[in-house]
Amino acid sequence: MAMFAKLASAIMNDVVSGLRGYHHNMSMSIEQLEDEIVEERLQVIKEYSLKGILPIRDLVLAINCIDVDCKDLDRCKCSSYTGRPIAHFEIPQVVNDYGDIAIDYIGSTDRQFPFVFYTSSYVWNYYHKYRKRGKQKPFVFIDTTPNENGMYDCFLFNAPMMKQISIVAVFKDPRQLENYGCCSDLADHNFSFIDNEVKRRLIEKKVRYYR
């Protein structure tokens, strides 16, 4: 079962039960509910973050099989620039409201070698250049502007032999993890009270709307 499908089914069953005798022709699908779950989840996460009670450890998910390919930093098909291809990989969009803590780990697949990462081109270009230590160690620049696939482009430096990397982070839409082979059998994500809150809110909204 796809991620969120189980939660969507539970919401739909509760809504149908709550509306028994009120409504017979509801235009509601599992796919629609999954989209609404993602939107409501981000809203709940934001609210709890502002209250300072967000359980980051309950929200992180891991991808341990991200393939590394090559891509130009330019990435513009209409440009005459022909730069040197750089080690590159894609990751699902990350919840950026929490800064660097949204990414718990990015590095080798055995989780033994974490990489320094930057989400600001300014910090990458200037701060890293003047680092006194670890300047030659692997590091990653994450472009937080979604690409044509709705993913983030990541560029890996000082790791020419790396074939795959691993990331543990809080993702905006966990369904994007289904694009990776090692996550294809991920039926349940890291459930927390956030999911129960999302379920409660959506059931209330749906029952109120259809009544």
Residue ranges making up the domain that contains 197 = 1-55+192-211
- Ranges 29-43, 104-118, 176-190: which has the least confidence: 176-190
Shared-domain flag, residues 45 and 64: no
Better-scored residue on pLDDT, 78 or 133 = 133
169 plus 79 within the same structural domain: yes
Q: Which of the residue ranges 14-23, 32-41, 51-60, 73-82 would you say has the lowest mean pLDDT?
A: 73-82
46 and 130 assigned to the same domain: no
| Residue 28 pLDDT exceeds 90 | no
- pLDDT at position 161: 84
Render pLDDT for 66-120 as a digit per residue (tens, 0 to 9).
999 998 887 655 444 455 788 999 999 999 877 678 899 999 999 999 998 998 8
Write down the pLDDT at residue 51.
85
Domains in the chain, number: 2
Tokens of 18: 């709550």
Confidence band, pLDDT 50/70/90 cuts, at residue 1: very low
pLDDT in tens, 45-77: 888 888 888 778 888 999 999 999 998 887 655
User: Which pLDDT score, from 0 to 100, does residue 83 have?
Assistant: 59
pLDDT value, residue 128: 63
How far are the Cα atoms of 22, 158, 208 from residue 61, in angstroms, in the given order?
40, 26, 33
Residues 50 and 70 in one domain: no
Q: What are the distances in angstroms from CA 209 to CA 63, 64, 102, 181, 205?
A: 38, 41, 34, 39, 6
d(CA 90, CA 38): 20
Q: For residues 146 and 110, state if they share a domain.
A: yes
172 and 75 in a common domain: yes
* Top mean-pLDDT range of 67-76, 124-133, 148-157, 189-198: 148-157
Q: Which run of H or of E encompasses 34?
A: helix 30-51
Residues 50 and 87 in one domain: no
Whether 172 and 93 share a structural domain: yes
